[in-house]
Every structure is written in structure tokens, then in C-alpha cells.
């Protein structure tokens, strides 16, 4: 049975190779590819905690330790968040509430060699919910965790968009 599966998958792999398919993050000896382009993006120090969270996630995925390339691009990020108490239930003494944190970010990728010319820009957002149970420390931790989860989702979205941009330019 295993031989049959192998024989069924083999022609698909041959056809996939013939169509010019190339993995997004692959690189070869001639060019570093998308991975090299992502590693050459510098992200300036932010002014607020939310943007710092996004920056940290981007740096750890785009420029892991020892893989940074010389800076060719700069990524400017402006992020903000807002809270919305979406559900309230005060039918008994527990007063359960559900809150949503909306994290929004706009970003611009600028080419350093071209005098700071913007080559790609975009906006993204993330909605993350948490329970507000009426205990100050637990509520603060839940809100902090929600903001961190939203920042992580934003960073993944920005990285994916930048990778797609670099892949389409090659």
C-alpha cells in the first residue's frame, strides 16, 4: 500500500517542479531570496509599548540572531489599540463582561538607497477578546495578554505581506 501512495505522489511532485514553483522562503547560491530581503529590513526603535511588541516579533522572525543582512530597507510602524466592552451581564453578583481589544497598525517599507522612497505600505488590524471578571489584577493581566496576542498577529501579518511583496518583485 505504501508503494502505491509513493507512485501516486511522484508524478505530482514532478509536475510541481516543472511549473516553476519555488517556496517563498527558499534561497539558492545566486541570491538570498525573500529570506535575505527580510533580513535586510531595519525597524527603528518605537515610542510606545505596543509598537515595541510588534517590532520584537518582527525582528525575531525576520532577523534571527546571526542572520541580519546589511540594511537596505526601513520599516516604519505606527500602532494603536482601543478597547470595547462588547458584552455585559449583570444579572447576578458576578457581573461577567467580555471586552475586545482592537489593535491597529499602519506600516511603510522604505528603500534606504532610493532616498527613503516608500516602496510598500499597508494597514492591518487584529481583534482579540478577553474576560473582565471584576478583579483588578486579573483584569489587567487579561488585557495585557490580549494586547500581546494582537501585536503578535499584527507582526505575522506584516511579515507575510512583506514576504509576498519581495517575492513578487523577484
Q: Where are the alpha helices (DSSP H) in the chain?
A: 2-18, 33-39, 49-62, 136-169
CA distance linking residue 84 with residue 101, whole number of Å = 6
Domains of the chain, CATH where assigned = 31-87+95-169 (3.30.160.150)
* Cα–Cα distance, 58 to 157 (Å, whole number): 10
pLDDT in tens, 140-157: 999 999 999 999 999 999
pLDDT greater at residue 82 or residue 134? 82
Name the pairing type of β-strands 73-89 and 117-132: unpaired
Q: How many other β-carbons are positioned within 10 Å of the β-carbon of residue 72? A: 15
Interval 23-30 mean pLDDT:
51
Instruction: Work out the mean pLDDT of the chain and round it to a whole number.
Output: 83
Task: Give the length of the chain.
Answer: 170
Helices (H) and strands (E) in the chain, counts: 4, 4
Residue 106 banded pLDDT, cuts 50, 70, 90: very high
| pLDDT surpassing 80 at residue 6 | no
Grid cell digits, residue 125:
488590524
Asked whether 105 and 158 are in contact (CB, 8 A), the reply is yes
Calculate mean pLDDT across residues 129-144.
89
- Return the C-alpha cell found at 147: 494586547
**Local structure of 44: helix, strand or coil:** coil
CB 119 within 8 A of CB 111: yes
Distance CA 147, CA 128 (A): 7
Amino acid at each position: 500500500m505504501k508503494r502505491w501512495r509513493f507512485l501516486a505522489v511522484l508524478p505530482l511532485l514532478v509536475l510541481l517542479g516543472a511549473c516553476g514553483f519555488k517556496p517563498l522562503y527558499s534561497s539558492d547560491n545566486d541570491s538570498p531570496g525573500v529570506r535575505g530581503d527580510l533580513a535586510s529590513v531595519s525597524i527603528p526603535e518605537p515610542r510606545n509599548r505596543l509598537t515595541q511588541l510588534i517590532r520584537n516579533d518582527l525582528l525575531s522572525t525576520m532577523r534571527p540572531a546571526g542572520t541580519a543582512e546589511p540594511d537596505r530597507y526601513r520599516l516604519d510602524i505606527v500602532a494603536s489599540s482601543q478597547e470595547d466592552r462588547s458584552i455585559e451581564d449583570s444579572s447576578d453578583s458576578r457581573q461577567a463582561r467580555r471586552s475586545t481589544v482592537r489593535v491597529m497598525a499602519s506600516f511603510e517599507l522604505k528603500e534606504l538607497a532610493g532616498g527613503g522612497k516608500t516602496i510598500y505600505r499597508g494597514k492591518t488590524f487584529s481583534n482579540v477578546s478577553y474576560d473582565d471578571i471584576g478583579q483588578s489584577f486579573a483584569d489587567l493581566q487579561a488585557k495585557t495578554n490580549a494586547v500581546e496576542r494582537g501585536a503578535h498577529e499584527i507582526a505575522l501579518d506584516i511579515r507575510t505581506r512583506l514576504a509576498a511583496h519581495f517575492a513578487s518583485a523577484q
